């Protein structure tokens, strides 16, 4: 008799027993004695494995030999109430099929408790561990919560291009996209590579942000958000930077910087509480195994209003703190994560939004304040992470934007379409960018951004 497969998460929630069920999954552990084997089987639907009880005399010896850690099996059996502690249901095996063996001599995930560093080296297998199962389920639920939030708020999901001709954002170096053969690239008269002969007829890169195009969407649809991959050839090997990461960028017509801060705070609180509700078991597991303060930290963000102050006020606090920082603090300095974390963790003891940064350390498109020195940017700073969101009210005035672009000697060639929005029906507007992996870092309590994306891309690392 063919029985339909049930996901283990559903079986572990059952309160009625006695039915014959079918489960399929990967063997996590096998223990037992001469009469009976106990298999912990996991199918990825939950952090919890289900126990399969195998009465050894009923099965062929060859088959039993193949049921080792890592093997994939299908089991038909009777669902019974578990006698063991900590689990509700277990399965008495009636019929077992092995889909794929995993040779104990070579399967790398034999024992529990491998280091995260080791697991990074076998990133192609690490989803099979409890830890990474939990992280990737949380990642999924967060992505869903983000779409859910914006959809409920009346925002439209707007797809911005991944290949772009604008390299104007200045957010770190970009990866070039080309079909030219670099060994015999066509040259212009002044001996530069002639990109007019390239695939797109111009020089193109992978995008560092969907914001500029997102603004075009907001100027028509009102409120939009992007959620897509972004690329930065940052050669900094930090635990908070990836070369390929996902970014969420809402952009809203008629919002000013205060609306923008309210949106950022409400949005972050929504997705965090969503994860706490829908990923309870996984978050509790990570809290127990990796970061005992995780749950407290999450509740702390939900329970507190984010403190809002200007960059100038923030720098004063840092200067007066008497604390020794690796990087010096002075008005005009780009704040480092040690400064950001001091404000959040030691001074205010709550999330912080800093606003009105010196224009020199922020992008050209931020709205200029009347003081001529600062712009209406805002960074949201979180415990353990530092900057999680960067955003601003945008400069909506054509002349002011143009002057800033000239001041910075930026090329109009790749930006004219962006500036045009300020000529045709311009409007006040604001938006921000949330690095998705920084959010996942925060909610999982993991310490390294390489551990919250299935296949991390960092300098010298793109094998799988
Ligand atoms: P940082 O100072 O931390 O490098 P940034 O100022 O370059 O950040 P923005 O250009 O404002 O960041 O990008 C918006 C958001 O994208 C950041 O707040 C952060 O959450 C995320 N982010 C930026 N760079 C990276 C990266 N290399 N890897 C992962 N997330 C990133
Ligand atoms: Mn950066």
Q: Which of 82, 100, 118 is the last residue of a domain?
A: 100
Q: Do 275 and 141 touch, CB atoms closer than 8 A?
A: yes
pLDDT score for 1: 56
* Any domain includes 202: no
Q: Is 340 in the pocket of ligand 1 (CB under 6 A)?
A: no
Element (H, E) at 382: strand 374-382
pLDDT score for 236: 80
Look at the alpha carbons of 447, 449, 455, 457 in this order and tell me if their dihedral is positive or negative.
negative
What is the distance between the alpha carbons of residues 304 and 35, in angstroms, rounded to a whole number?
57
Q: Which of 100, 134, 163 is the last residue of a domain?
A: 100
* Any domain includes 178: no
Query: Token pair of 368, please?
Result: 């200029």
* Any domain includes 3: no
DSSP secondary structure of 92-157? EEEEEEEEE---TTT-S--SS---HHHHHHTTTTGGGSHHHHHHHHHHHHHHHHHHHHHHHTT-EE
* Any domain includes 409: yes
Task: Tell me if residue 220 falls in helix, strand or coil.
Answer: helix
Instruction: Show pLDDT as tens, one digit a residue, over the chain (464 residues).
Output: 589 999 999 999 898 999 999 999 999 999 999 999 999 999 999 999 999 999 999 999 999 999 999 999 999 999 999 877 767 899 999 999 999 999 999 999 988 789 999 999 999 999 999 999 999 999 999 999 999 999 999 999 999 999 999 765 555 689 999 999 999 999 999 999 999 999 999 999 999 999 999 999 999 999 999 999 999 998 888 999 999 999 999 999 999 999 999 999 999 999 999 999 999 999 999 999 999 999 999 999 999 999 999 999 999 999 999 999 999 999 999 999 999 999 999 999 999 999 999 999 999 999 999 999 999 999 999 999 999 999 999 999 999 999 999 999 888 888 899 999 999 999 999 999 999 999 999 999 999 999 999 999 999 999 98
pLDDT score for 168: 55
> Which residue has a Cα nearest atom 27 of ligand 1?
241
Q: Is 233 in the pocket of ligand 1 (CB under 6 A)?
A: no
| Closest ligand (CA of 453) | 1
- Whether residues 134 and 81 fall in one domain: no
- Whether residues 45 and 90 fall in one domain: yes
What CATH number is associated with residue 303? Answer: 3.30.930.10
What is the distance between the alpha carbons of residues 23 and 215, in angstroms, rounded to a whole number?
48
Indicate which atom in ligand 1 lies nearest the CA of residue 438: 20
What is the distance between the alpha carbons of residues 457 and 454, in angstroms, rounded to a whole number?
10
- Whether residues 247 and 325 fall in one domain: yes
What is the distance between the alpha carbons of residues 252 and 232, in angstroms, rounded to a whole number?
25
* 383 CA → ligand 2 middle, Å: 18
- Whether residues 83 and 232 fall in one domain: no
Categorise residue 197: left if φ over 0, alpha if ψ from -120 to 50, beta otherwise. alpha
What is the distance between the alpha carbons of residues 274 and 277, in angstroms, rounded to a whole number?
5
pLDDT score for 170: 57
For the beta sheet containing 156-157, the strands, ordered from the edge strand earlier in sequence to the opposite edge, are 156-157, 223-231, 244-253, 429-435, 386-393, 374-382, 352-358, 307-310
Return the best residue to mutate from 243, 387, 456 for the ligand 1 pocket (most ligand atoms within 8 A of CB): 387
Task: Tell me if residue 349 falls in helix, strand or coil.
Answer: coil
Q: Is 245 in the pocket of ligand 1 (CB under 6 A)?
A: yes
Q: Is 387 in the pocket of ligand 1 (CB under 6 A)?
A: yes
Q: Look up tokens 């990109």; give the residue.
A: 195
pLDDT score for 6: 97
- Whether residues 240 and 141 fall in one domain: yes
Q: Is 341 in the pocket of ligand 1 (CB under 6 A)?
A: no
- Whether residues 95 and 132 fall in one domain: no
pLDDT score for 221: 98
* 450 CA → ligand 1 middle, Å: 15
> Which residue has a Cα nearest atom 12 of ligand 1?
390
Nearest Cα residue to 229 out of 177, 166, 161: 161
> Which residue has a Cα nearest atom 8 of ligand 1?
387
Domain count, the chain: 2
- Whether residues 163 and 271 fall in one domain: yes
Indicate which atom in ligand 1 lies nearest the CA of residue 234: 27
- Whether residues 96 and 131 fall in one domain: no
- Whether residues 145 and 221 fall in one domain: yes
Categorise residue 211: left if φ over 0, alpha if ψ from -120 to 50, beta otherwise. alpha
- Whether residues 224 and 365 fall in one domain: yes
Partners of 187 in beta bridges: 193
- Whether residues 225 and 318 fall in one domain: yes
Residues 6+ apart with CB under 8 A from 285: 47, 130, 131, 134
DSSP secondary structure of 319-336? HHT----SS---TTPPPP
What is the distance between the alpha carbons of residues 22 and 31, in angstroms, rounded to a whole number?
21
What is the distance between the alpha carbons of residues 315 and 144, in angstroms, rounded to a whole number?
37
* Any domain includes 355: yes
- Give the domain extent around 410: 126-173+208-451
pLDDT score for 411: 84
pLDDT score for 183: 93
Nearest Cα residue to 227 out of 446, 434, 89: 434
Q: Is 232 in the pocket of ligand 1 (CB under 6 A)?
A: yes
Query: Token pair of 330, please?
Result: 């002075």
Q: Do 22 and 3 touch, CB atoms closer than 8 A?
A: yes
Q: Are strands 156-157 and 72-81 parallel, antiparallel or unpaired?
A: unpaired
* Any domain includes 291: yes
Return the best residue to mutate from 390, 450, 457 for the ligand 1 pocket (most ligand atoms within 8 A of CB): 390
Q: Is 435 in the pocket of ligand 1 (CB under 6 A)?
A: yes
* Any domain includes 411: yes
What CATH number is associated with residue 19? Answer: 2.40.50.140
- Whether residues 272 and 338 fall in one domain: yes
Q: Look up tokens 């066509």; give the residue.
A: 186
* Any domain includes 164: yes
* 125 CA → ligand 1 middle, Å: 28
What is the distance between the alpha carbons of residues 269 and 438, in angstroms, rounded to a whole number?
15
């Amino acid at each position: 008799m063919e029985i339909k497969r049930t996901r283990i998460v559903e079986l572990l929630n059952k309160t009625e027993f006695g039915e014959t069920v079918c489960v399929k999954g990967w063997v996590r552990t096998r223990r037992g004695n001469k009469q009976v084997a106990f298999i912990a089987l996991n199918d990825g639907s939950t952090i919890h494995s289900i126990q399969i009880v195998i009465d050894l005399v009923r099965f062929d010896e060859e088959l039993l030999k193949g049921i080792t850690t890592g093997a994939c099996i299908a089991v038909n059996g009777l669902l019974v109430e578990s006698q063991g502690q900590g689990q509700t249901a277990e399965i008495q095996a009636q019929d077992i099929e092995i889909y794929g063996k995993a040779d104990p001599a070579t399967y790398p995930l034999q024992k529990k408790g491998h280091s995260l560093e080791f697991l990074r080296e076998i990133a192609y297998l690490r989803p099979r561990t409890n830890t990474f199962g939990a992280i990737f389920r949380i990642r999924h639920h967060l992505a869903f919560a983000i779409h859910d939030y914006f959809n409920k708020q009346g925002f439209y999901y707007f797809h911005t291009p991944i290949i772009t001709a604008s390299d104007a954002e200045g957010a770190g170096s970009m990866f070039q996209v080309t079909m030219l053969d670099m060994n015999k690239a066509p040259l212009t008269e002044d001996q530069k590579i002639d990109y007019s002969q390239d695939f797109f007829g111009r020089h193109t890169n992978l995008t560092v942000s969907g914001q500029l195009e997102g603004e075009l969407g907001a100027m028509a649809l009102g409120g939009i958000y992007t959620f897509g991959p972004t690329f930065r050839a940052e050669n900094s090997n930090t635990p908070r930077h990836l070369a390929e990461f996902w970014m969420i960028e809402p952009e809203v017509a008629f919002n000013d910087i205060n609306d923008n801060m309210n949106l950022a705070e409400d949005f972050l609180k929504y997705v965090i509480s969503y994860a706490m509700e829908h990923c309870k078991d996984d978050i509790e597991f990570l809290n127990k195994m990796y970061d005992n303060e995780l749950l407290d930290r999450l509740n702390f963000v939900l329970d507190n209003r984010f403190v809002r102050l200007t960059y100038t006020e923030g720098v004063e606090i840092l200067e007066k703190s008497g604390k020794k920082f690796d990087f010096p603090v002075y008005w005009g300095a780009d704040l480092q994560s040690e400064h950001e974390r001091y404000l959040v963790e030691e001074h205010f003891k709550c999330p912080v939004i800093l606003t009105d940064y010196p224009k020199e350390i922020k992008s050209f498109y931020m709205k200029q304040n009347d003081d001529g020195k600062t712009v209406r940017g805002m960074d949201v700073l979180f415990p353990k992470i530092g900057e999680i969101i960067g955003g601003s009210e945008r400069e909506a005035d054509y002349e002011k934007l143009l002057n800033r672009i000239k001041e910075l000697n930026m090329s109009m060639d790749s930006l004219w379409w962006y500036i045009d929005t300020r000529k045709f029906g311009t409007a006040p507007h604001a938006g921000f960018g949330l690095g998705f992996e920084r959010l996942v870092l925060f909610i999982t309590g993991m310490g390294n951004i390489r551990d919250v994306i299935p296949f991390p891309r960092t300098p010298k690392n793109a094998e799988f």
